[in-house]
Structure 1
Amino acid sequence: MVEVKDHILLMVSQSENRRLLTDLLKTEYSLLFFVNEKSLSQDFDLCIVDGLALKRYQCQLQARREASEPVFLPFVLLISRPQMKIINDVLPAQVDEALVIPIEKVELLGRLKALLRSRRLTLELKAANEQLQHLNAFKSRFLSMASHDLRSPLSAISASAQLLQNHYHKLSRDKQERILQLMHSGVKRMTQLLNDIVIINQAEEGKLTFHPSFFNLDQFCQELVEQFQMASGSRHQIEFMSVTDSKTDHFKLFNSDFKVYMDKNLLYHIFSNLLDNAIKYSPDGGIISCKLIYQEHQVICQIKDPGIGIPLEKQQKLFEAFVRGDNVEKIRGTGLGLSIVKQCVELHGGTIACESQINLGTTFIVTLPYGYEKFH
């Protein structure tokens, strides 16, 4: 791994002092040299300035320091020993420390490292604060979304239950079954949302774990497809197929007992979210395909739908929480499913990609290693 060096800007007018500092610092730091005022707009971690430059660019230095707040940006004044008597009591407001020349390399590096360490602490504090703000915004938005999405099915279930209670004997058998189906659908939506809440919370806290086992992936997917086909009705036709890449040395893959070493629970979240989206965003029905392509060291899972497609500008942020296409209109959804899918895929050491065109459909491509490396 390449070490990233701190950047030090030298605002030193006297050429001999500039040469001396360059020789002392060039192996430890990445050096930048002041040319004009524009040099102060560069990204640097510490600035060494002499008296002449300080006097000439006093206002610009103060402005640069203020622009960096709340991150600490250290400025060091380079002075001679006679000058040290002048500022012995009060250090100029624009600088944090004074270096008296000549100076030993060990002392110079030690004092600069102390200042840079303070800067790194403020950078880490700023990053932590931004992360905290992001998490707070995420949780606020999530709670708002969850309360809204839970309220809708709860209201539907409550209204349906009241209708059955008050008018059960007046309703036809078909009407009764329809109301029960609506209640079941509401319960299913709430269960899915609560599962999403659990997964997202585990992921945010770093507690989403990987527990693999050996199982037959074809059988797993076939059963899941059958469940979704039964739930979606006749409007959608869900096809499952399993093939082996012709370029693969694949004799063992023809065995119907071939097993992968993956996490069934995480895999369920991957496929159920993708299949649910394929059905949900294909409101006109059609054929949805779930295809497994076995290769030498990995399996490629393709889930393709003939649906509304995803706008190109949304595809780059598709796997971020709460991101949904502008064309979803009244189609229900939280914008959490694909974020969960991505995290589950990455825990397997896999990747996910998307190919989509408006009104022509979407294909999600999940690549998963067989997992034997983790086993061994």
Structure 2
Amino acid sequence: MSNKLSNRISLPIYFSLIIFFIFLITVVITGLLFFLAQVFGLLNEELAQDGFVLPIMVLIACTIIGTTISAITSRKMVKSIRIFIEATERLASGDFSMRLQLKSPPEFEILSENFNRMAEELGGIEILRTDFVNNFSHEFKTPIVSIKGFAEVLKNDDLTKEERDEYLDIVIEESTRLASLASNVLELTQVETQKILTNKMRFNVGEQIRQSVLLLAAKFEKKHLKLNVNIQDYELSGNKELLNQVWLNLLDNAIKFTPEHGEIEVNMKKNEDNLVILVHDCGIGIHPEALPKIFDKFYQQDTSHSTAGNGLGLAIVKKIIHLHHGTISCESIPLQGTTFTVTIPIGM
């Protein structure tokens, strides 16, 4: 509180001191000039005794001297303002490397710190935007080019039935991938623009997770995965449809990165006023350098893009969890597995 108060009064005191010193210097210089003028006989007794001429001379002298001193002392303040204007112009033109180093008065130092923080945040947003556009272009272009190429090959009458079926399967797969990308981008846009959670209702989240497991049963069987589920029946208040996407996405990721005949665990526990859901797989794990980026849009640890997916699922999951005032975290050890932990308030 004292720091805020001192910051509030520092600028008025700063300007008050400047005005006081300008006034003091003006009076001293004016007095000194008239004293010297009298010593050297430049002022005669008639002027000194005149009650009208002398005050006017003093007023004119004070005005000239005061204006000159004010112009000189204000140059520093004006210079600081000009530096700030130039910095904002460079920032507006896209130069996010611009930084301010104003030190006085204290308000200008605070202004510099806030400006530098803003420039840093905008620079980070610009990098994310550029990465988003580049990744989106890559993810969107790749299946289109693939579909176009195989469609041209299918025009060849010399293809055998096996080759034609193989190429058609690839076209169908790439079309599905493209549709999934468009759907995920739409879902991400919807949840990102959503600030308030709508369509809230109380429902059995344990039953919902069990249904999600059943929906993915074919994928579990295809890879011969073992599933250990420790789920209780707890009621939760939230958007049922959005949370269903969370469980499907986390389970689908676990299946995707778990090798055949591997094991996946889903556990649930109640912790005070929160519900904690853990999804663990024994897959390839995530590299420590990649761990902080897994919730970024379009981020994929597999830079070759050989693994199915477009890097939007976890970004959607994180936003949905935040809409429910919850948290999601990830712990992973390369070649040993990954655990996602979702914590959601029960009575939100």
Q: TM-score range by the shorter chain?
A: 0.5 to 0.7
Offset of residue 234 of structure 1: 2.0
Letter aligned with residue 141 of structure 1: D
**Matching residue within 158, 166, 171 for 2:161:** 171
The AA in structure 2 aligned to 1:306 is C
CA distance in 2, matches of 1:315, 1:179: 36
Q: CA deviation at 1:341?
A: 1.6
1:186-335 pair list within 5 angstroms: 186-202=174-190, 204-206=192-194, 209-231=197-219, 234-237=222-225, 239=227, 241-244=229-232, 253=233, 259-283=235-259, 286-295=262-271, 297-325=273-301, 330-335=306-311
C-alpha displacement of 1:286: 1.6
Q: TM-score, normalised by structure 2?
A: 0.63
- SS of equivalent to 1:230: helix
The whole-number CA distance in structure 2 between the counterparts of 1:273 and 1:193 is 14
CA distance in 2, matches of 1:80, 1:90: 10
Residues 299 and 124 (structure 1), Cα distance of their counterparts in 2 relative to 1, 3 Å cut: same
The residue that corresponds to 2:136 in the other structure is 146
My pick for the range that moved more, 328-337 or 86-95, is 328-337
The answer to whether 1:28 aligns with 2:6 is yes
| Alignment CA distance shift 1:142-1:93 (3 Å) | same
- For 1:361, the equivalent position in structure 2 comes to 337
* Distance change >3 Å, CA 205–CA 217, structure 1 → 2: closer
- The residue number in structure 2 matching 1:101 is none
1:225–1:238 CA contact under 8 A, matched in 2: no
AA partner of residue 352 (structure 1): I
**Matched position secondary structure for 2:280:** strand
Answer whether contact 2:147 2:174 (CA < 8 A) is retained: yes
1:239-280 Cα offsets, whole Å, 9 max, x none, are 252345xxxxxxxx5xxxx54222123213322332232233
- The one-letter code matched in structure 2 to 1:279 is I
Separation (CA, whole Å) in 2 of partners of 1:293 and 1:184: 41
What residue number does 1:93 align with? 75
User: 1:227: Cα distance to partner?
Assistant: 2.6
Higher relative contact order (CA 8 A, sep 6+): 2
Uncovered stretches (5+) of structure 1, i.e. residues with no partner: 7-26, 33-44, 52-75, 98-114, 245-252
- 1:56-205 to 2 correspondence within 5 Å? 79=21, 81-84=23-26, 85=66, 87-95=69-77, 134-160=124-150, 170-172=160-162, 176=165, 181-202=169-190, 204-205=192-193
Deviation string, structure 1 residues 211-239 (Cα, Å, up to 9, x no partner)? 32233323322232233232465225262
Deviations 1:169-204, CA, capped at 9 Å, x for gaps:
9415x973x555544432332233223322443455
Distance in 1 between residues matched to 2:213 and 2:144, nearest whole Å: 28
SS at match of 1:352: strand
Q: Provide the rounded CA distance (Å) in 2 between the counterparts of 1:210 and 1:128.
A: 32
Aligned residue pairs total: 283
Tell me, in whole angstroms, the C-alpha distance in 2 between the residues paired with 1:264 and 1:231: 23
Amino acid at match of 1:81: F
- More strand per residue: 1 or 2? 1
User: Runs of 5+ in structure 2 lacking a partner?
Assistant: 27-65, 80-104
SS in 2 for 1:313: coil
Secondary structure of 2:76's aligned partner: coil
Give the helix-richer structure, 1 or 2: 2
1:130–1:295 Cα change, 3 Å: closer
Determine the C-alpha separation between the residues in 2 that align with 1:349 and 1:283.
Answer: 34
Secondary structure of the corresponding residue to residue 309 of structure 1: coil
Aligned-residue offset at 1:155: 3.5
Three-state SS of the structure 2 residue aligned to 1:319 is coil
The amino acid that maps onto 1:237 is: L
Q: Is the 8 A contact 2:299 2:311 kept in 1?
A: yes
Tell me the secondary structure at the aligned position of residue 335 of structure 2.
coil
* Residue 361 (structure 1) shift: 0.8
**Matched residue SS, 1:308:** coil
Change in 2 beyond 3 A, CA 1:353/1:215: same
> What amino acid sits opposite 1:188 in the alignment?
T
Per-residue Cα deviation, 1:5-55 (whole angstroms, up to 9, x for no partner): 45xxxxxxxxxxxxxxxxxxxx533999xxxxxxxxxxxx9995999xxxx
Per the alignment, do residues 288 and 155 of structure 1 end up closer, same or farther by CA in structure 2, a change over 3 Å counting?
farther
SS of the residue corresponding to residue 227 of structure 2 reads strand
1:120-141, Cα deviation, whole Å (9 max, x unpaired): 7887777666655544443333
Q: Distance in 1 between matches of 2:187 and 2:128?
A: 14
What RMSD over aligned residues (CA atoms) do the two structures have, in Å? 4.3
Preserved contact between residue 135 and residue 298 of structure 2 (Cα < 8 Å): no
In structure 2, do the counterparts of structure 1 residues 291 and 339 end up closer, same or farther at CA, with 3 Å as the change threshold? same
The equivalent position to 1:349 in structure 2, one of 315, 325, 345, is: 325
CA distance in 2, matches of 1:261, 1:231: 29
The amino acid of 1:186's aligned partner reads E
Distance (Å, rounded) in 2 between the aligned partners of 1:205 and 1:229: 33
Q: Which amino acid aligns with 1:227?
A: L
